[in-house]
Amino acid sequence: MLSYRHAFHAGNHADVLKHAVVVQLLRYLGQKDKPYWYIDTHAGAGVYSLTEGYASKTAEFETGIGKLWQRRDLPAPLADYVDEVSALNPDGQLRFYPGSPYLAWRLMRSQDRMRLFELHTTEIDILRHNFRDAGRRAMLYAGDGFEGIKAQLPPAPRRALVLIDPSFEDKRDYARTITCLEESLKRFATGVYAVWYPRVVRPESQRFAEQLKRLQTTDWLHVTLTVSRPPEDGFGLYGSSMFVLNPPYTLVAAMKEMLPFLADVLGQDDAAQFEVESRVS
């Protein structure tokens, strides 16, 4: 939806889960010499200020990265992610938060490429500014990533991470995500696809995992971080999930190491928990 601005939620507990997973996926892809593409269907602004503007009004980062920032006992997969946030804040003060595109840019090598889509007219302008010196390594598109991704698959190197993370404020995003994945798998069956979605009191969210699992019978990973009981009024985010198709073999162990810590540190009440489901051939 064009009213949605991710800056309100930058660095919250859902971002922590999403970006910790993305960092692990990109690190794995970077282990081989062969290049890869990073494709983001809903890229946002790329970088967010936490001390002014939308993020400072809601301060949701205090429920996420703010609780991890000064920790020295982080599990290794989580430390990888926090190190990337630290790189954006070299003076040690938490002022900026990296979105998925910036994390990908940090982890990409000279031979890798990114394709970023953003529909929001203001966000795409900020994204262009943030990537103004990227050259042809980063191609930015003002438009609907659900549709735009079709022309990008299969990628030239036949290796890619595709991140699909709409806001889901529009309930049609659930069905559009499933359709996007179905069509993308036909074009590029071996790609790594990572889908973020919110845990909210909404039937579309409650049944979404089972719909995702039906996309292919094996080679998927589903992780969930719940930080609180569902809100009594039915509104608001009480957790989030990441569903990864064709995950690297290392990801299950990394999630089992990281998620208990996150549930303990980011949990807001006695309903805090985590779940790791996988079916890997």
**Pairing assessment for the beta strands 113-118 and 37-40 based on DSSP bridges:** parallel
Q: How many Cα atoms within 13 Å fall on the side-chain side of residue 87?
A: 15
Task: Compute the residue count for the chain.
Answer: 281
Q: Single out the catalytic residue among 40, 112, 165, 173.
A: 165
122, 110, 131, 111: which is closest to 46 by C-alpha? 131
Dist CA 221 CA 225 (whole Å): 14
- Does 165 qualify as catalytic in the annotation? yes
What's the Cα-to-Cα distance from 74 to each of 18, 88, 142, rounded to whole Å? Answer: 17, 19, 37
Residue 221 and residue 193 in contact, taking contact as beta carbons nearer than 8 Å: no
Residues classed as catalytic: 165
